């Protein structure tokens, strides 16, 4: 099968407010499709779309909300990691983040573990409170918004960080010994380095060194 060809990304600034149009494409000959991801960025607002074409007949096949696709991908990866690494009886999930990806992550992990409690923290109180209420209603779970990152990880069996921040809000010392920890999203280099060095513990669990 022919290897996919990635088309270099392009960014086209416009206006006087830092607005920009971003484009990234790829061709997958073996799958018979090609596509482009287009994202408009205007101030703090961004809207990405993924457009896939039939490379044999030319018409577009689907138009996909790239935010939704990214959230689903994040959730699935979190669920796979939890299924493989967390203890079968792990039931308390701590999440740093309250955005779209955090919500998809909670929903996905709830499919592979029987969660007795979910704890959410993000810097903005209104955001985490609203996310906790909406997830609780949608999933039928106990979801609590907590006031500090330490409150998220205290005695948690599973900890995940689907968010971005200048510095990681939790440290290895905060984690329960039994915690299965999956780190992602933080710009801090020490956090990314630690994520690559997660050693196994008994029972297939993992924890920062």
Residue spans of the domains in the chain: they are 5-58, 69-204
- Residue 182 pLDDT > 70: no
Q: Is pLDDT above 60 for 83?
A: yes
105 Ramachandran zone, left/alpha/beta (phi>0; psi -120 to 50): alpha
pLDDT value, residue 175: 72
5-58 architecture in CATH?
A: 2-Layer Sandwich (3.30)
CB 42 within 8 A of CB 34: no
Mean pLDDT score of the chain: 81
Grouping H, G, I as helix, E, B as strand and the rest as coil, residue 142 is coil
Domain 5-58 and domain 69-204, same fold? Reply is: no
pLDDT in the model for residue 176:
63
Mean pLDDT of 180-199: 40
Segment 141-160 mean pLDDT? 91
List, in sequence order, every residue forming a beta bridge with 161; answer none if it has no partner. Answer: 183
Mark out the alpha helices in the chain (DSSP H runs): 66-85, 100-109, 125-139, 149-153, 189-195
Residue 205 has pLDDT above 50, yes or no: no
What fold characterizes domain 69-204?
Answer: Rossmann fold (3.40.50)
Share of the chain above pLDDT 70, in %: 82
Residue 193, judged by CB atoms within 10 A of its CB (0-12, 13-18, 19+), counts as exposed
Q: Is 155 left (phi over 0), alpha (psi -120 to 50) or beta?
A: left
Report the chain's C-alpha Rg in angstroms: 19
pLDDT at residue number 179:
60
Beta strands in 68-147 (DSSP E): 92-96, 117-121, 143-145
**Is residue 92 predicted with pLDDT exceeding 50?**
yes
Question: With bands split at pLDDT 50, 70 and 90, how would you rate the model's confidence at 7?
Answer: confident
Residue 200 has pLDDT above 60, yes or no: no
124 φ/ψ angles, rounded to the nearest 5 degrees: -95, 120
- Beta bridge partners, 94, equal 119, 159
The mean per-residue pLDDT over the stretch 8-16 comes to 86
For the cut 50, the answer to whether the pLDDT of residue 204 exceeds it is no
Range of weakest confidence among 38-47, 110-119, 149-158, 194-203: 194-203
Please name which of 76, 14, 70, 15 lies closest in space to residue 37, comparing C-alpha atoms: 70
């Amino acid at each position: 099968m022919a290897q996919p060809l990635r088309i270099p990304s392009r960014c086209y600034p416009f206006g006087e407010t830092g607005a920009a149009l971003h484009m990234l494409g790829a061709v997958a000959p073996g799958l018979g499709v090609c596509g482009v991801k287009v994202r408009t960025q205007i101030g703090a607002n961004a809207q990405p779309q993924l457009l896939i074409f039939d490379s044999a007949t030319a018409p577009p096949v689907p138009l996909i909300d790239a935010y939704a696709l990214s959230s689903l991908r994040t959730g699935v990866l979190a669920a796979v990691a939890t299924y493989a690494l967390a203890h079968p009886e792990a039931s308390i999930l701590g999440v740093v983040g309250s955005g779209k990806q955090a919500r998809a992550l909670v929903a996905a992990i709830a499919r592979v573990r029987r969660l007795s409690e979910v704890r959410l923290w993000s810097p903005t109180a209104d955001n985490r409170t609203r996310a906790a209420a909406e997830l609780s209603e949608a999933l039928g779970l106990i979801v609590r918004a907590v006031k500090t990152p330490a409150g998220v990880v205290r005695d948690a069996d599973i900890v995940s960080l689907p968010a971005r921040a200048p510095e990681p809000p939790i440290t290895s010392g905060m984690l329960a010994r039994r915690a299965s920890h999956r780190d992602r999203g933080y710009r801090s280099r020490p956090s990314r380095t630690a994520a690559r060095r997660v050693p196994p513990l008994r029972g297939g669990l993992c924890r920062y060194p």
